[in-house]
């Protein structure tokens, strides 16, 4: 099999602007994508990654145990700033999650064929990010053991959930989104699992992939139903993903606080989510392509397209911030004017300026073609965007709560070690799940890329 | 169980031409097995029908209206609470949960319908016994034609003449 990998890479040709991939045949796609899973390759770098990620995951588990065992008093939250890191992390992670679904559904519906090479690992990112996001509101509760009270179920107290509460909307938004994403991702994976079943040589692998592929046999009848289903799922996923982050935006907008009570919040949160998610996809695409040697399938043309979307996102973010400042000023209310001044020159002003630089300015370099095709620039800017978006989430919480209507309530937030442990730990947990994903499942949707390669070769 | 002749083609265009020729010869193409969806193939086989989207619509509507009914029943009939004078039937926010839940149910019912109408999960199948059938998930475009009672060798020759890499017998 390693010889066929050699052939496949030898068959690949130098990158051309008019072609998305660099392979000549459908068989080469299979070889490239399945080789890391089926060949006896050196996984040394992978094990190093797993070791680091496991360590951070232990930190995460320890922090969660501390928060659940001792209560939320171990965090930096105080009586003014009642929302802290958990809510910022929740919004950040669910935002990362949004991009995977947008890539797989919105770009499918708009016939952006380049998505085929990146949608699988972007969807996996969605699943893991949403699963982590779902943990944070629970960690943030005073009595997390009762979180299931948010669901309507027959109970001896004869109580029902309060449907007008943003917390209940959140519960259903995250739950529906997570389960829907799992179904979408798994059904997209079935044909590729069948390919792995047919290519693997070991008995254990055949049983494993055979059972997971549910006996898929590539029948034209099945493909027909599959395509109808998959397109319908994509059409459902777009409004779902927009509604999920709109509901997250409503968590803030429904609160009667200066700086939060703004109708622009739902769309502004959706754009921010797409933006930060794309930045994360760029980082993951660079890592997956390097780690699994998929340079022939995920080419610089893909990064070029993603960078264009990021520069669009950054510009819309800039407009959203401007709209936010304008409505604060135009409201004519003292509390809003005072908050605006606090944002620009108050205690958190350095973070605010850093956020503006990361989210609005950094991406403007992608107006230049050389920057869109330079891996170092892409990764640095993508990481800056992720940091900037996290700063935005924490500052939405901090600025408003630190500087609300009543001056006697003004106070600042001092993060504790557990705030940092749960935040950095969640990154480690994400990395661990992601490493397991690329070791077990094909990171690229083979049947979709094969179709793309076929069309490109025929053209 | 139908006895079929399986012919493997190197690319979808050859498969589509073979489907047309088989039909011209009066034989019945039963099914085809391809690594990726081929445009117009299901139509050519007369199999371009699926109830999956109807199931998705039904699941979505039932989930959505069921969720809305739950909200209305609990907030208006079973546990009316006057929260700051807000109307008991607050439809302005009551559509959020039904929307999320309806989309979720459409997805789950759609996946179940896709599997059920395709006869999956079915981990084994007589076709998997045919040598070379595993190419259909990789780079082979396999056509299954009902084996005619008279002169099956004529069909076989015709398939081989239309660029088939191999022709073998199987059951479907």
Task: Please choose, from the candidates A72, A158, A170, A191, the residue with its C-alpha nearest in 3D space to the C-alpha of residue A446.
Answer: A191
Q: Coil, strand or helix: which one is A219? A: strand
Q: Is there a single domain that holds both residue B57 and residue B111? A: yes
Q: Which of B93, B117, B141 lies at the terminal end of a domain, its last residue?
A: B117
Task: Please choose, from the candidates B24, B34, B157, the residue with its C-alpha nearest in 3D space to the C-alpha of residue A227.
Answer: B34
Of B79, B115, B123, the CB nearest to A159: B79
> In whole angstroms, what is the distance from residue A207 CA to residue A209 CA?
6
> In whole angstroms, what is the distance from residue A20 CA to residue A13 CA?
12
Element (H, E) at A120: helix A119-139
Q: Which of B101, B117, B133 lies at the terminal end of a domain, its last residue?
A: B117
Q: What share of chain A has pLDDT > 90, as a percent?
A: 24
Q: Tell me whether the omega of the peptide bond preceding residue A446 falls within 30 degrees of 0, making it cis.
A: no
Which whole number is the average pLDDT over A284-299? 83
Q: Do B137 and A198 touch (CB under 8 A)?
A: yes
Which pairs with CB-CB distance under 8 Å and at least 24 residues apart come from A2-5? A2/A35, A2/A39, A4/A31, A5/A31, A5/A32, A5/A35, A5/A39
Q: Which pLDDT band, with edges at 50, 70 and 90, does A306 fall under? A: confident
Residue A314 pLDDT > 90, yes or no? yes
Q: Do A194 and B53 touch (CB under 8 A)?
A: no
Q: Is there a single domain that holds both residue B18 and residue B58? A: no
Q: What is the pLDDT of residue A40?
A: 67
Of A25, A219, A240, the CB nearest to B103: A240
Contact B90, B68 (CB under 8 A): no
Q: What is the pLDDT of residue A3?
A: 43
Q: Is there a single domain that holds both residue B107 and residue B138? A: no
Q: What is the pLDDT of residue B124?
A: 83
* Contact list, A225 vs chain B (CB under 8 Å): 50, 52, 114, 117-118
Distance from CA of A189 to the nearest CA of B (A): 13
Q: How far is CA A342 from CA A331, A388, A402, B164, in A?
A: 16, 19, 9, 74
Q: Coil, strand or helix: which one is A123? A: helix
Q: What is the pLDDT of residue B82?
A: 84
Q: Do B50 and A162 touch (CB under 8 A)?
A: no
Give tens-digit pLDDT for A422-435.
999 999 999 999 99
Contact B99, B66 (CB under 8 A): no
Q: What is the pLDDT of residue A300?
A: 84
Give tens-digit pLDDT for A147-187.
888 888 888 888 888 888 888 888 898 899 989 989 998 99
> In whole angstroms, what is the distance from residue A154 CA to residue A172 CA?
18
* Contact list, A215 vs chain B (CB under 8 Å): 120-125
* Residues contacting A204, CB < 8 A, separation 6+: none
The angle that helices A119-139 and A44-70 make with each other, rounded to 10 degrees, is 20
> In whole angstroms, what is the distance from residue B98 CA to residue A173 CA?
10
Residue A381 pLDDT > 90, yes or no? yes
* Contact list, A180 vs chain B (CB under 8 Å): 103-104, 107-108
Which whole number is the average pLDDT over A297-301? 82
Q: A 83-122 residues with CB below 8 A of B?
A: none
Q: Is there a single domain that holds both residue B10 and residue B23? A: yes
Element (H, E) at A290: helix A265-291
Residue A17 pLDDT > 60, yes or no? no
Give tens-digit pLDDT for A207-243.
888 889 888 988 888 899 998 999 899 899 989 988 9
Q: What is the pLDDT of residue A447?
A: 83
* Contact list, B137 vs chain A (CB under 8 Å): 191, 194-195, 197-198, 216-218
DSSP string spanning A18-50?
T-S---S-HHHHHHHHHHHHHS----HHHHHHH
> In whole angstroms, what is the distance from residue A79 CA to residue A219 CA?
62
- As for how many domains chain B has, the answer is 2
The ipTM (two decimal places) reads: 0.90
Residue A357 pLDDT > 90, yes or no? yes
Task: Please choose, from the candidates A110, A22, A119, the residue with its C-alpha nearest in 3D space to the C-alpha of residue A446.
Answer: A119
Q: Do B81 and A162 touch (CB under 8 A)?
A: yes
Q: Which pLDDT band, with edges at 50, 70 and 90, does A18 fall under? A: low
Of A194, A229, A448, the CB nearest to B114: A229
Contact A366, A381 (CB under 8 A): yes
Q: Is there a single domain that holds both residue B22 and residue B61? A: no
Give tens-digit pLDDT for A110-159.
777 777 778 888 888 998 998 999 889 888 888 888 888 888 888 888 88
Q: Is there a single domain that holds both residue B40 and residue B68? A: no
> In whole angstroms, what is the distance from residue B137 CA to residue A203 CA?
18
Q: Do B137 and A220 touch (CB under 8 A)?
A: no
Give tens-digit pLDDT for B97-109.
999 999 999 999 9
Q: What is the pLDDT of residue A318?
A: 93
Task: Break chain A down into helix, strand, coil percent, rounded to 5.
Answer: 75, 0, 25
Of A160, A195, A223, the CB nearest to B138: A195
Residue A37 pLDDT > 50, yes or no? yes
* Contact list, B100 vs chain A (CB under 8 Å): 172-173, 175-177, 240, 243-244, 247
DSSP string spanning B13-30?
HHHHHHHHHHHHTT--EE
Q: What is the pLDDT of residue A291?
A: 81
Residue B3 pLDDT > 60, yes or no? yes
Q: What is the pLDDT of residue B111?
A: 93
CATH number of the domain within which B130 lies: 3.30.70
Q: Is there a single domain that holds both residue B71 and residue B89? A: yes
Q: A 160-179 residues with CB below 8 A of B?
A: 160-164, 168-169, 172-173, 175-177, 179
Q: Do B138 and A198 touch (CB under 8 A)?
A: yes
Q: What is the pLDDT of residue A19?
A: 65
Q: What is the pLDDT of residue A15?
A: 53
Share the mean pLDDT of chain A. 85
Q: Is there a single domain that holds both residue B64 and residue B88? A: yes
Domain carrying residue B21 = 3-49+125-171
Q: What is the 3-state secondary structure (H, E, C) of B43-81?
A: HHCCCCCCCHHHHHHHHHHHHHHHHHHHHHHHHHHHCCC
Residue B56 pLDDT > 80, yes or no? yes
* Contact list, B48 vs chain A (CB under 8 Å): 224
Q: Which two tokens stand for residue A446?
A: 């083979």
Chain A residue with the nearest C-alpha to that of B10 = A26
Of A25, A211, A219, the CB nearest to B33: A219
Contact B17, B141 (CB under 8 A): no
Which whole number is the average pLDDT over A300-316? 89
Q: Is there a single domain that holds both residue B66 and residue B19? A: no
Q: Which pLDDT band, with edges at 50, 70 and 90, does A331 fall under? A: confident
Span between the terminal Cα atoms of chain B, in Å = 5
* Residues contacting A61, CB < 8 A, separation 6+: A425
Q: Which pLDDT band, with edges at 50, 70 and 90, does A335 fall under? A: confident
Q: Which pLDDT band, with edges at 50, 70 and 90, does B19 fall under? A: confident
Chain B residue with the nearest C-alpha to that of A196 = B137
Chain B residue with the nearest C-alpha to that of A218 = B33
> In whole angstroms, what is the distance from residue A96 CA to residue A90 CA?
10
Q: What is the pLDDT of residue B57?
A: 94
Cα dihedral A301→A307→A312→A316 (10° resolution): 160
Q: Do B110 and A232 touch (CB under 8 A)?
A: yes
Chain B residue with the nearest C-alpha to that of A208 = B123
> In whole angstroms, what is the distance from residue A336 CA to residue A100 CA?
35
| DSSP state at residue A61 | H
Q: What are phi and psi of B79, to 5 degrees?
A: -140, 70
Best A8, A198, A217, A266 residue to mutate vs chain B (most B CBs within 10 Å)? A217
Residue A6 pLDDT > 50, yes or no? no
**More confident site: B26 or A228:** A228
Task: Please choose, from the candidates B66, B64, B67, the residue with its C-alpha nearest in 3D space to the C-alpha of residue B103.
Answer: B64
Q: Is there a single domain that holds both residue B112 and residue B132? A: no
Q: What is the pLDDT of residue A71?
A: 85
Q: What is the pLDDT of residue B161?
A: 80
């Amino acid at each position: 099999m390693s010889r066929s990998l050699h052939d496949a890479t030898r068959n690949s040709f130098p990158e051309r602007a008019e072609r998305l991939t660099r392979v000549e045949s459908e068989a080469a796609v299979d070889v490239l994508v399945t080789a890391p899973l089926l060949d006896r390759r050196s996984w040394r770098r992978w094990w190093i990654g797993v070791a680091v990620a496991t360590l951070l995951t232990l930190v995460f588990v320890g922090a969660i145990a501390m928060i659940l065992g001792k209560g939320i008093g171990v965090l930096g939250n105080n009586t003014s700033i009642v929302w802290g890191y958990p809510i910022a992390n929740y919004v950040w992670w669910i935002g990362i999650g949004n991009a995977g679904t947008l890539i797989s559904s919105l770009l499918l519906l708009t016939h952006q064929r380049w998505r085929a090479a990146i949608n699988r690992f972007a969807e996996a990112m969605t699943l893991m990010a949403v699963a982590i996001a779902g943990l944070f509101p629970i960690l943030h509760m005073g009595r997390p053991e009762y979180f299931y009270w948010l669901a309507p179920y027959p109970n001896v107290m004869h109580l029902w959930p309060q449907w007008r509460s943003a917390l209940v909307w959140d519960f259903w938004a995250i739950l529906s989104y997570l389960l829907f994403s799992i179904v979408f991702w798994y059904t997209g994976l079935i044909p590729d699992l069948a390919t792995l079943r047919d290519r693997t040589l070991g008995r254990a692998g055949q049983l494993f992939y055979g059972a997971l592929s549910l006996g898929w046999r590539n029948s034209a009848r099945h493909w027909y139903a599959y395509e109808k289903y998959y397109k319908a799922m994509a059409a459902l996923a777009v409004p779902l993903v927009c509604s999920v982050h709109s509901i997250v935006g409503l968590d803030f907008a429904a609160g009667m606080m200066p700086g939060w009570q703004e109708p622009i919040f739902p769309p502004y949160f959706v754009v921010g989510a797409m933006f930060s998610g794309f930045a994360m996809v760029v980082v993951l695409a660079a890592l997956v392509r390097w780690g699994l040697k998929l340079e022939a399938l995920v080419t610089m043309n893909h990064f070029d397209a993603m960078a264009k979307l990021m520069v669009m996102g950054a510009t819309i973010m800039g407009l959203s911030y401007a709209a936010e400042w304008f409505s604060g000023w135009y409201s004519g209310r003292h509390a809003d004017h005072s908050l605006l001044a606090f944002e620009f020159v108050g205690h958190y002003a350095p973070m605010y300026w850093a956020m503006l630089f990361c989210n609005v300015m950094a991406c403007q370099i992608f107006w230049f073609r050389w920057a869109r095709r330079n891996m170092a620039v892409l990764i640095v800017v993508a990481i800056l965007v992720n940091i900037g978006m996290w700063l935005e989430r924490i500052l939405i919480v901090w600025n408003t709560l630190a500087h609300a209507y009543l001056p006697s309530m003004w106070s600042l937030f001092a993060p504790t070690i557990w705030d940092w442990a749960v935040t950095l730990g969640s990154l480690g947990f994400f990395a661990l799940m992601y490493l397991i994903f690329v070791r077990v499942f094909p990171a690229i949707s083979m049947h979709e890329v094969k179709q793309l390669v076929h069309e490109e070769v025929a053209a | 169980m139908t006895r079929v002749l399986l012919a493997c083609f190197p690319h979808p265009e050859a498969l589509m031409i073979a489907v047309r020729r088989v039909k011209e010869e009066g034989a019945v193409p039963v099914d085809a097995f391809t690594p990726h969806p081929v445009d117009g193939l299901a139509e050519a086989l007369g199999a371009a029908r699926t109830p999956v989207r109807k199931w998705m619509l039904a699941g979505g509507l039932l989930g959505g209206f069921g969720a809305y009914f739950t909200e209305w029943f609990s907030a208006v009939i079973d546990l009316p609470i006057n929260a700051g004078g807000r109307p008991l039937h607050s439809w302005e926010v009551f559509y959020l949960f039904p929307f999320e839940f309806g989309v979720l149910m459409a997805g789950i019912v759609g996946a179940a319908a896709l599997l059920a109408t395709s006869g999956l999960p079915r981990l084994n199948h007589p076709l998997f016994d045919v040598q070379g059938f595993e190419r259909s998930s990789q780079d082979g475009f396999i056509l299954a034609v009902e084996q005619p009672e008279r002169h099956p060798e004529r069909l076989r020759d015709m398939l081989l003449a239309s660029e088939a890499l191999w022709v073998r017998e199987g059951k479907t």
